[in-house]
């Protein structure tokens, strides 16, 4: 498996512990190390998703909230297709272009927006646009949906609003988790994008 854009490696670590039979390679542009006691089936490498070698060596690639950070991310989708073995799967999650509507006034999110203007340099899509790009890259779409609709947005916004108030954030955490879980159960026509595709 390839964790494409692993960041601090939290997803890699969880999957490596849950699937001890699977070899997981955690790749990120930034240098990083694995925590002490990381399972033997997990390795971390530094690399650029725009320059993958295309060796057809992975059965499964997952990329969670990464492509919005990469300008020209359609090229990364084509690289994912080349990196997968025939019959391999891609799990892709990213924000969509429908996330501009907020519940609370924009002025409360200036700090995040300043960060996102610098960090979110990659193209963002609607669900039909993303599935079309993946199909053009050679994938067959197995599943596609919007995630984290209105309830997920509410949880995210409340979490951001309490960033500088840790006591409030901790108090709200059970409610935020409940909102996030409920948002997963409800079908939505906006939010982030989740696509499972097969080579």
Please provide the DSSP assignment of the chain as one string. Answer: -EEET-TT-HHHHHHHHH-TTS-EEEEESS---PPTT--TTEEEEE--GGG------EEEEEEES-GGGSTTHHHHHHHHHHHEEEEEEEEEEE-BTTTT--SS-GGGGHHHHHHHHHH--S--B-HHHHHHHHHHTTPEEEEEEEES-HHHHHHHHHHHHTTT-HHHHHHHHHHHHHHHHHHHHS--SSSEEEEEEE-
Q: What is the pLDDT of residues 43-95, one digit of tens each?
A: 999 999 998 877 888 999 999 999 998 999 999 999 999 999 999 999 999 98
Residue 22 is predicted with a pLDDT of: 96
Sorting pLDDT into bands at 50, 70 and 90, what band is 188? confident
118 vs 125: which has the higher pLDDT: 125
The CATH H-level (homologous superfamily) assignment of domain 48-103+119-149+189-198 is: Vaccinia Virus protein VP39 (3.40.50.150)
Percentage, residues of the chain above pLDDT 90? 55
At 191, list the tokens: 């939010």
Residue 98 is predicted with a pLDDT of: 62
Mean pLDDT rounded to a whole number for the chain: 89
Domain residues of the chain, as ranges? 48-103+119-149+189-198
Do 103 and 154 contact (CB within 8 A), yes or no? yes
Residue 148 is predicted with a pLDDT of: 81
Q: What is the pLDDT of residues 140-174, one digit of tens each?
A: 999 999 988 888 888 888 888 888 888 888 999 99
Sorting pLDDT into bands at 50, 70 and 90, what band is 100? low
Percentage, residues of the chain above pLDDT 70? 97
The rounded distance, in Å, linking the Cα atoms of 12 and 159 is 24
């Amino acid at each position: 498996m390839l964790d494409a854009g692993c960041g601090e490696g939290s997803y890699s670590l969880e999957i490596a512990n849950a699937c001890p039979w699977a070899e997981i390679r955690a790749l990120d542009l930034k240098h990083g190390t694995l925590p002490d006691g990381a399972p033997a089936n997990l390795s971390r490498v530094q690399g650029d998703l725009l320059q993958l070698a295309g060796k057809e060596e992975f059965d499964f690639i997952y990329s969670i909230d990464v492509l919005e950070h990469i300008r020209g991310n359609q090229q990364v989708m084509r690289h994912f297709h080349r990196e997968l073995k025939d019959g391999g799967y891609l799990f892709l999650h990213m924000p969509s272009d429908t996330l501009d509507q907020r519940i609370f006034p924009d002025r409360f999110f200036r700090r995040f927006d300043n960060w996102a203007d610098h960090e979110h340099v990659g193209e963002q899509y609607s669900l039909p646009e993303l599935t079309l790009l993946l199909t053009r890259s050679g994938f067959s779409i197995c599943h596609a949906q919007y995630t984290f609709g209105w309830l997920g947005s509410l949880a995210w916004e409340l979490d951001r609003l309490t960033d500088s108030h840790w006591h409030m954030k901790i108090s709200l955490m059970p409610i935020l988790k409940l909102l996030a879980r409920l948002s997963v159960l409800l079908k939505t026509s906006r939010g982030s994008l989740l696509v499972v595709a097969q080579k």
